[in-house]
């Protein structure tokens, strides 16, 4: 395959560039008008909301892991060529309890919180007992998702928080368990053209079974004003291959007719998690990668609501983000970002990040791979069932009837993929990613096109967030639009900026400069004005 990559370079001298992951960030709840350099297209109007950790220490306590930090929302509102910025901490129960105590009192995945030593023995005993079956945090610092007409900050617990997308005010606390038997829910959601949302959760040891569950939340508002999740319906379930060690997952794939779910050998040990507090270890220590196990690839028919008959698998790998999935001539093509192990999570412990600042540290680089799942297994044992000419991905039928899939490497050192979402589930050509070939903090953003030539544009020193594609209204071409990414200036005193790239040329057309020290965020959602 003739792969082409367009690169925007945010820094040439990375060894001199450092980002302090453990620094607490200030919020800016009142709108700040940006200084716009260049020309923002008139058609680009709406709000980009992004989410990520921003507070890492309270009083004498601090978080162990960057993912654990308190959620800090920030937004860029674009109207008539102007941009306004604001940021605000998510004021959930976790944030309020921690700030009132001026210490971390609610446990996160990588940081276990313990009772204040000054508390009496009775309070300590109650706290220890309550952690046997933990009530998870509502510190939703990972993504923004839409259910019905409501927007929510989310992580991967059973709690999400409704937010006001304009003011960033924190609103209702929503518990999935009130509507679905979902103890853990993925951070990423899919949407169809009718506005329905599709999400995935894990139901742990209900009636002696652990299963993965895909569910649908209808679009629009409910007439009685109740939460959209009240109308949620389970689309299908997939049994877990082990009762008390379900697979961790962060996203899944969806085409017009299929869901694609990767059951990877990165597993959560539920019994260990139940006793983690008593053993004074974090829940993250109960998540383990098993390189000796295979990775199962589940293909679910959306019409029958059942898995297809063919059993697909590949070697051990860790996956967080899917790029896209589509159907082509009797195959399902599935592009994902893969790791050889779970070293990425371990890298983000704050002590390790501090040690690695400025060091020439190598890590397990991610690889963008294309897997192809044939919808028919008619063929001889040992035969490659993939008949598509444009990929080297294979799917070999084995003696036991299972199909061993080997992925084609599209490119490596990339993460946080986004596409033109109008092509989600469709045959597509373009994706937009962060370049993380040396270190997990991105100093470049990339446009990847599997068929044409490369272009590069140098922007100077900075750290990029996930690039978000916004299509031009009534666009015909897949790549007709702009790409937005918030950029942290390597010199915080100079403030950050929202970068606007023309998606065809991948050249800068505007930047909105804000005199604010941005925080490193994770994911976001663009809300066009017409919605």
| pLDDT tens sequence across 280-304 | 899 999 999 999 999 999 999 999 9
pLDDT single digits (tens) 57-78:
999 999 999 999 999 999 999 9
Token reading at 45: 């109007």
- List Cα–Cα distances, 303 to 25, 216, 240, 300, in angstroms: 47, 14, 21, 9
How many residues would you count in the chain?
Answer: 531
Q: Given this model, what pLDDT does residue 99 score?
A: 96
| pLDDT classification of 423: cutoffs 50, 70, 90 | very high
Query: The tokens of 52 are what?
Result: 């990520």
What pLDDT does residue 462 have?
A: 80
Identify the weakest region by mean pLDDT among 10-24, 95-109, 116-130, 365-379: 116-130
pLDDT at 340 over 80: yes
Express each pLDDT in 184-231 by its tens digit: 999 999 999 999 999 999 998 777 789 999 999 999 877 777 889 999
Q: What pLDDT does residue 296 have?
A: 97
Residue 121 has pLDDT above 60, yes or no: no
Position 104 scores a pLDDT of: 94
The angle formed by the CA atoms of residues 320, 110 and 93, to the nearest 5 degrees, is: 100
Whether the predicted pLDDT of 356 surpasses 90: no
Residue 311 CA to residue 294 CA, distance in Å, equals 12
Candidate from 103-117, 134-148, 345-359, 395-409 with smallest mean pLDDT: 345-359
Per the annotation, binding residues for Fe cation are 188, 250, 321, 523
**pLDDT in the model for residue 374:** 97
Q: Per-residue pLDDT averaged across 475-500, rounded?
A: 90
Q: For 462-487, how does the pLDDT look when each residue is reduced to its tens digit (9 = 90+)?
A: 888 999 999 999 999 999 999 999 99
- Interacting residues of 342 by C-beta distance below 8 A, sequence separation 6+: 266, 287, 288, 289, 318
Q: What pLDDT is stored for residue 424 in this prediction? A: 97
Q: Return the pLDDT at 456.
A: 43
State the pLDDT at residue 418.
96
Strands 456-458 and 28-33: unpaired
As given in the structure block, the two tokens for residue 4 are 């082409």
- C-alpha 219: how far from its chain's center? 22
pLDDT at 429 over 80: yes
The answer, yes or no, to whether residue 518 has pLDDT greater than 90, is yes
SS3 at position 101: helix
What local confidence, expressed as pLDDT, does residue 13 receive? 38
What is the tens place of the pLDDT at every residue in 138-190? 999 999 999 999 999 999 999 999 999 999 999 999 999 999 999 999 999 99
Average pLDDT over residues 16-41: 90
Across the range 318-335, mean pLDDT stands at 96
Other Cβ atoms less than 10 A from the Cβ of 437: the count is 15
User: Which pTM does this prediction carry?
Assistant: 0.92
Measure the CA–CA gap between 90 and 321, rounded to whole angstroms: 24
Q: What is the mean pLDDT of residues 264-268?
A: 95
Lowest mean pLDDT, pick from 9-13, 208-212, 260-264, 267-271: 9-13
Mean residue pLDDT across the chain: 88
Cα–Cα distances (Å) from 365 to 206, 226, 342, 417, 444, in that order, read: 37, 44, 11, 15, 15
Proportion of the chain above pLDDT 90, given as a percent: 72
Among 248, 63, 92, CA closest to 173: 92
Residue 223, pLDDT score: 74
Short-list 257, 206, 196, CA closest to 231: 196
pLDDT at res. 134: 55
**What is the per-residue pLDDT for 459?**
46
Cα angle 294-426-481, degrees, rounded to a multiple of 5? 120
The yes-or-no verdict on residue 118 having pLDDT over 90 is: no
- Which residues fall in the annotated binding site? 188, 250, 321, 523
Residue 356, Cα to own-chain centre: how many angstroms? 24
């Amino acid at each position: 395959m003739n792969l082409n990559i367009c690169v925007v370079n945010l820094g040439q001298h990375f060894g001199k560039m450092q980002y302090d992951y453990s620094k607490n960030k200030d919020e800016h709840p009142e709108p700040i008008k940006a200084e716009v350099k260049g020309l923002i297209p008139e058609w680009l109007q709406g709000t980009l909301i992004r989410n990520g950790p921003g507070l890492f220490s309270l009083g004498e306590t601090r978080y162990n892991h960057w993912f654990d930090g308190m959620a800090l929302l920030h937004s860029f509102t674009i109207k008539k060529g102007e941009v306004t910025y604001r940021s605000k901490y998510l004021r959930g129960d976790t944030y309020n309890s921690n700030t009132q105590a001026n210490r971390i009192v609610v446990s996160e995945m990588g940081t276990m919180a313990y009772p204040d030593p000054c508390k009496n023995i009775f309070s300590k005993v109650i706290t220890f007992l309550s952690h046997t079956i933990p009530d998870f945090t509502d510190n939703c610092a990972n993504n923004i998702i839409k259910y019905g007409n409501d927007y929510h900050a989310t992580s991967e617990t059973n709690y999400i928080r409704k937010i006001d997308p304009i003011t960033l005010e924190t609103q209702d606390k929503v518990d999935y368990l009130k509507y679905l038997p979902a103890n853990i829910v993925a951070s990423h959601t899919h949407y169809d053209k009718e506005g329905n949302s599709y999400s995935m959760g894990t139901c742990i040891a209900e009636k002696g079974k652990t299963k993965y569950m895909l569910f649908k939340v209808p679009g629009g508002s409910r007439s009685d004003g109740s939460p959209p999740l009240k109308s949620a319906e389970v689309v299908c379930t997939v049994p877990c291959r082990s009762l008390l060690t379900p697979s961790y997952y962060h996203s899944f794939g969806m085409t017009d007719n299929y869901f694609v779910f990767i059951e990877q050998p990165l597993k959560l040990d539920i019994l260990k998690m139940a006793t983690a507090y008593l053993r004074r270890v974090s829940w993250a220590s109960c998540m383990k990668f098993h390189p000796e196990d295979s990775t199962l690839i589940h293909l679910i028919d959306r019409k029958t609501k059942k898995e297809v008959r063919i059993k697909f698998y590949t070697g051990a790998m860790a996956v967080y983000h899917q790029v896209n999935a589509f159907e082509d001539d009797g195959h399902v093509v599935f592009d994902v970002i893969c790791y050889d192990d779970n070293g990425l999570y371990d890298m983000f412990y704050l002590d390790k990040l501090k040690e690695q600042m400025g060091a020439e540290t190598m890590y397990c680089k991610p690889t963008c791979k294309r897997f192809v799942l044939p919808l028919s297994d008619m063929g001889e044992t040992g035969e490659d069932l993939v008949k598509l000419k444009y990929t080297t991905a294979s799917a070999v039928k084995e003696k036991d009837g299972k199909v061993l899939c080997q992925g084609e490497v599209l490119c490596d050192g990339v993460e946080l993929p986004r596409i033109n979402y109008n092509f989600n589930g469709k045959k597509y050509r373009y994706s937009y990613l962060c370049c993380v070939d040396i270190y997990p903090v991105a100093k470049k953003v990339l446009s990847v096109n599997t068929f044409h030539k490369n272009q590069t544009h140098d922007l100077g020193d900075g750290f990029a967030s996930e690039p978000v594609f916004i299509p031009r209204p009534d666009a015909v071409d897949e790549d007709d639009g702009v790409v937005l990414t918030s950029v942290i200036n390597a010199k915080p005193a100079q403030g950050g900026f929202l970068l606007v790239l023309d998606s065809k040329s991948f050249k800068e057309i505007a930047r909105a400069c804000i005199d604010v020290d941005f925080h490193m965020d994770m994911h976001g959602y663009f809300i066009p004005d017409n919605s």
